[in-house]
């Protein structure tokens, strides 16, 4: 890789993704003294000022891959609808200059991001973001969503990207991400397969985890179970058996379902059991897409 910007500048971008405890650990690892008095914004500069050129290279080798992979994984989770923050809109502001704006929404916040990757600036693209990492020129997950969108728009070719390393399986990670109606959709994600249904029937799945939970609402305690499944074969819940079509059957690797105490107590369920059930598709703020309002939960 022939990155044009120097190691120090590049690290000043990368380290924005770390929290203050992680940066203090860098100080300990490299035996840097006097770091405890600095705030995060000052600590990055302090670390970079304290390290020799060879130490900067060592730090880069230690941290780059993990930082990039973590942010890209979060980006893909957002695209897939499996993160607490959702991608709600992408707008091409200037197609000629490859300028895009992205809008995100969380539980009680909104944020926006800007990116332009062109042949002239591909070595250090124009970018801006409202988030803490991106506002300091870091490669935040919002940046990587814009990166993936720009790649899918053919604004640049992957072999021309020299600024950062990419995970070895990056091509596979984004293979099923497509642009539909101007937005990014991960056709291989559980969310994309489930979101088109209101209720589904699980024809076959295996229990991998059972967690008893309690919900206390105004003094009324409700017990329920979160059950993790793997190797799920499902289709739309049918009004009558004659509506069954084999071509409607789909598969996902894992899924969580919420089962009432009464339904769970109808049999002695254990790990490894093969089950079937019906349920309503729901996007939970913490757990992502899952099944609630489960009925017909039984061993297969």
Same domain, 207 and 258: yes
Q: Could you write out the DSSP letters of every residue in 133-179?
A: TGGGT---HHHHHHHHHHHHTTSS-GGG--SS---TTHHHHTTTEEE
Task: Identify which of 14, 11, 4 has the alpha carbon closest to the alpha carbon of residue 121.
Answer: 4
182 belongs to a structural domain: yes
What mean pLDDT do residues 166-191 have?
Answer: 91
* DSSP β-bridge partners for residue 209: 228
Last residue of a domain, one of 147, 165, 186: 186
Cβ-proximal residues to 51 (8 Å cutoff; 6+ apart), any chain: 30, 32, 59
Q: Read off the pLDDT of residues 234-282 as tens digits, 9 standing for 90 and up.
A: 999 998 888 889 999 999 989 999 999 999 999 999 999 999 999 999 9
Q: Is a pLDDT exceeding 80 seen at residue 222?
A: yes
Calpha distance 255→202 (Å, rounded): 10
* DSSP β-bridge partners for residue 224: 213, 260
What does the block give as tokens for 39?
Answer: 């705030």
Q: Could you write out the DSSP letters of every residue in 54-119?
A: HHHHHHHHHHHHHHHHHHHHHHHHHHTT-SSSEEEEEEEEETTTTEEEEEEE-SS-EEEEEEE--T
Q: Is a pLDDT exceeding 80 seen at residue 285?
A: no
pLDDT at 283: 83
Same domain, 133 and 172: yes
Name the domain count of the chain: 2
Same domain, 210 and 182: no
Same domain, 27 and 157: yes
Task: Identify which of 147, 168, 138 has the alpha carbon closest to the alpha carbon of residue 79.
Answer: 147
Which of 129-143, 216-230, 237-251 is the most confident on average? 129-143
* Per-residue confidence band for 219, with pLDDT thresholds at 50, 70 and 90: confident
Same domain, 171 and 240: no
Same domain, 168 and 250: no
Calpha distance 144→162 (Å, rounded): 15
pLDDT at 276: 97
12 belongs to a structural domain: yes
pLDDT at 41: 83
Calpha distance 69→120 (Å, rounded): 26
Q: Is a pLDDT exceeding 80 seen at residue 169?
A: yes
pLDDT at 33: 95
**Percent of the chain's residues with pLDDT above 70:** 100
Q: Read off the pLDDT of residues 27-73 as tens digits, 9 standing for 90 and up.
A: 999 999 999 999 888 999 999 999 999 999 999 999 999 999 999 99
pLDDT at 191: 80
More confident residue, 287 or 140: 140
Last residue of a domain, one of 186, 209, 230: 186
Average pLDDT over the chain reads 94
Q: Is a pLDDT exceeding 80 seen at residue 147?
A: yes
For 228, counting Cβ atoms within 10 Å of its Cβ (0-12 exposed, 13-18 middle, 19+ buried), the class is middle
Assign residue 19 a region (left: φ > 0; alpha: ψ between -120 and 50; beta: otherwise). Answer: beta
Same domain, 226 and 174: no
What mean pLDDT do residues 74-92 have?
Answer: 92
Helix (H) or strand (E) holding 281: strand 274-284
Q: Print the domain residue range for 167.
A: 7-186
169 belongs to a structural domain: yes
What mean pLDDT do residues 123-138 have?
Answer: 97
Same domain, 209 and 140: no
Same domain, 165 and 196: no
SS3 289: strand
1 belongs to a structural domain: no
Q: Is a pLDDT exceeding 90 seen at residue 84?
A: no
R_g of the chain, CA atoms, integer Å: 23
What does the block give as tokens for 132?
Answer: 């803490």
* Per-residue confidence band for 196, with pLDDT thresholds at 50, 70 and 90: confident
2 belongs to a structural domain: no
Same domain, 174 and 29: yes
pLDDT at 121: 97
CATH of the domain at 211: 2.40.50.140
Q: How far is CA 64 from CA 221, 246, 288, in A?
A: 47, 46, 28
Residue 141 Cα to chain centre, angstroms: 8
Same domain, 142 and 178: yes
Q: Is a pLDDT exceeding 90 seen at residue 116?
A: yes
pLDDT at 81: 84
Q: How far is CA 179 from CA 23, 148, 161, 167, 187, in A?
A: 37, 10, 21, 22, 10
pLDDT at 225: 97
pTM of structure: 0.78
Last residue of a domain, one of 186, 217, 250: 186
Sign of CA dihedral 130, 136, 137, 141: negative
Same domain, 279 and 251: yes
143 belongs to a structural domain: yes
């Amino acid at each position: 890789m022939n990155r044009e910007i120097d190691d120090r500048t590049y690290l000043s971008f990368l380290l924005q993704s770390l929290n203050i405890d992680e940066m203090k650990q860098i100080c300990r690892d490299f035996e840097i003294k006097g770091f405890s008095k600095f705030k995060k914004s000052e600590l990055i500069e302090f670390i970079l000022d304290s390290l020799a050129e060879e130490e900067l290279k060592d730090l880069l080798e230690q941290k780059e891959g993990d930082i990039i992979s973590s942010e890209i994984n979060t980006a893909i989770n957002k695209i897939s609808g499996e993160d607490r923050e959702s991608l709600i809109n992408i707008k091409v502001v200037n197609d000629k200059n490859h300028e895009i704006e992205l809008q995100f929404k969380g539980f009680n916040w909104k944020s926006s991001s800007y990116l332009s990757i062109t042949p002239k600036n591909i070595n250090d693209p124009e970018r801006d973001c409202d988030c803490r990492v991106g506002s300091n020129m870091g490669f935040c997950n919002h940046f990587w969503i814009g990166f993936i969108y720009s790649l899918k728009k053919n604004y640049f070719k992957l072999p021309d990207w020299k600024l950062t390393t990419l995970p070895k399986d990056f091509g596979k990670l984004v293979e099923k991400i497509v642009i539909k109606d101007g937005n990014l959709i991960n056709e291989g994600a559980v969310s994309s397969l489930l979101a088109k249904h209101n209720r589904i029937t699980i024809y076959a799945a295996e229990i991998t985890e059972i967690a008893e939970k309690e919900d206390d609402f105004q003094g009324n305690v409700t017990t329920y179970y979160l059950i993790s499944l793997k190797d799920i074969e499902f289709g739309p819940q049918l009004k009558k058996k004659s509506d069954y079509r084999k071509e409607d059957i789909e598969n996902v690797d894992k899924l969580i379902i919420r089962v009432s105490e009464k339904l769970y107590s109808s049999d002695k369920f254990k790990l490894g059991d093969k089950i079937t059930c019906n349920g309503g598709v729901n996007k939970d703020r913490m757990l992502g897409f899952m099944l609630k309002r489960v009925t017909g939960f039984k061993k297969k």
